Amino acid sequence: MSQVLHIIKKKKKHIGSLDVLIHDAAVTQTFNFDNLDENNEIEIQKAVGTRYSNGGTSHIDVFKHIEELSRKRDISKTIYFCFTDGYSDIEDGWTKYPVMKKITTLVLNEAGGRGKEVCKYIKATYINLPKN
């Protein structure tokens, strides 16, 4: 997570807004940051760095949320960071929500999960995270 926080901090002038969706079987927490500045760095760190859910993963609700966002604003420059072991319904959801094919997707995964396999199906970029 520290690497993601570093990227956000370094590129904040180029980020229009940041939406953080925390989910397991459904989206359980949402955070929106329209302005990235020193005043909300701690809140962003909490949103990205705190575990709020306990597994039983489904991506359907996340994709639905992204589709709803696409009706409200331009998502053509959206990057979807997905932290997953790949044991979910991500492939099924991908076909049901065509909006997902319009955005850049990065799958971040520790070794041992299905991350690489999922990326082949959904045409995402796989990033292997070292185990801490």
Q: How many domains does the chain have?
A: 1
- Rounded CA-CA distance 36/11 in Å is 10
The residue among 67, 60, 115 whose CA lies nearest residue 92 is 60
User: Chain centroid to CA 89: how far?
Assistant: 15
Tokens of 8: 């956000």
Residues spanned by the domain of 65: 2-129
Maximum CA pair distance of the chain? Answer: 39
Could you tell me if 19 and 44 are in contact, meaning their C-beta atoms sit under 8 angstroms apart? Answer: no
Q: What is the pLDDT of residues 103-123, one digit of tens each?
A: 989 888 877 788 888 888 888
CATH code of the domain in which 75 resides: 3.40.50.410
Instruction: Note the pTM of the prediction, 2 decimals.
Output: 0.81
- Rounded CA-CA distance 73/87 in Å is 30
Q: What is the pLDDT of residues 39-86, one digit of tens each?
A: 788 888 888 777 766 666 889 999 999 999 999 988 888 888 888 888
